[in-house]
Amino acid sequence: MPAQSPKLLDQVRAALRARRYPAHAEEATVAWITRFILFHNKRHPNVLAASDVMTFLDSLTDVAERSQARLAILFLYRQILNRPLDLPDAAPVVVASAARQPAADPLATLFDQVREALRVKHYAYSTEQSYLNWIKRFIRYHNQRHPRDLGGAEVAAFLTHLAVDGQVAASTQNQALAALLFLYREVLRQEIVYPIDSVRAKESQHLPAVLTKDETRRVIAQLSGIHQLIAKLLYGSGLRLLEALRLRVKDIDFERRAIIVRDTKGDEDRVMMLPDSVVAPLKEHLQRVKRLHEQDLAKGLGSVYLPDALERKFPNASREWLWQYVFPSDQLSQDPRSGAIRRHHLDESGLQRAVRQAALAVGLTKRVTCHTFRHSFATHLLEDRYDIRTVQELLGHKDVKTTMIYTHVLQRGGLAVRSPLD
């Protein structure tokens, strides 16, 4: 490899890390660029052209590999070498002996590229579906024109349409913007030349609804079975709903009375307390789950989704007890990405519905959701005089300002001033 190449690969690594690519994505990108350079007899990419890139891509027979290599090489040319590279849209491999197929739909190909880019960066499946939905709505709004023929002005027009005609919330508008920014920056490799901040909606800062300790007990008492157990964890440990549903058996430490919450909203792990009152019912629940898992294994099933590349590294881990979900679904389902038949975790909609019904049953006039238990957890800790930094760490907030909102709920901020009328 020429002397300049190691330096070039170091530049690629630095650029990927600056954009916070996962380590495995960094290695994959560098590996594809290395293969590309070796394919062309170690010539520097600066002296190669788009036709040389296509020659390399055409040598790859696997569709997924071709797409990954294409994204890596485009990153090299556009982000490192600052050279626009005009490549034709990625298309499926055509087998010579097969009947001639009609040309691939450019938009369908684009959606496949978006999916691949999202999965390379390990976005959640729900985020993948949401982003694809916003991109499709953007394209429909502009009469099915391809996004590469559109720009910042069209993005701004779409966001304005959402706010004015659709009257969507600020968070919804910003979610649509995030999807479009991902499309242009990570898939099309185009920068939107437009003052984006001018169309970014400013989210309102609303005080969260919080239950009193008595109201919390009454709502939880109205629930039953598995729903009551999860609600106790939400309130007793301050978990988010999906954090609770995604718990694995290995994440529960009964000896230390601890719960390890992995892959949180901030993509970091944190340790939460396991309430003593939950230990016995949780152990009984896990015994039932283990029997269910053993029944699945007897049928030749029993595998569970594993994050990142763990399934390739440890082929048998997906069937091991310690990797199973603490709150598995009653039904087996097909993994939307791999197609494997698995037992996923419980769907969040069931508990959400049960909590709403419980709040109505006890006569509460507040809007109560599963997240209300987390708000109540933080507020009640502050009421009990726990330090705000401790509460911040338990909640996993990056900034103490986020945690400070609960002091306003407690009326320890500006509202602590006594009215002159009183």
Q: Which residues are catalytic?
A: 240, 265, 371, 374, 397, 406
Paired tokens of 39: 């394919």
Dihedral sign for Cα atoms in the order 132, 80, 1, 21: negative
The residue to which tokens 């993005």 are assigned: 155
- Reference 359, options 378, 376, 384; nearest CA is 376
Instruction: Please say whether the beta carbons of 25 and 88 come within 8 A.
Output: no
Give the span between the Cα atoms of 289 and 226, in whole angstroms: 11
Range 114-141 burial, b when 16+ CB lie within 10 A, else e: bbbbbebeeeeeebbebbbebbebbbee
Q: Which amino acid is at 402?
A: T
Conformation bin of residue 81: beta by default, left when phi > 0, alpha when psi is -120 to 50: alpha
Greatest C-alpha distance within the chain = 89
Contacts of 59 (CB under 8 A, 6+ apart): 39
DSSP conformation letters of 121-157:
TT--HHHHHHHHHHHHHHHHHTTT--GGG--HHHHHH
Give the span between the Cα atoms of 67 and 89, in whole angstroms: 10
| H-helix or E-strand spanning residue 228 | helix 225-237
Instruction: Please report, for residues 73, 103, 341, the alpha-carbon distance to residue 296 in angstroms, rounded to integers and kept in the order given.
Output: 44, 44, 11
The residue to which tokens 């992995």 are assigned: 262
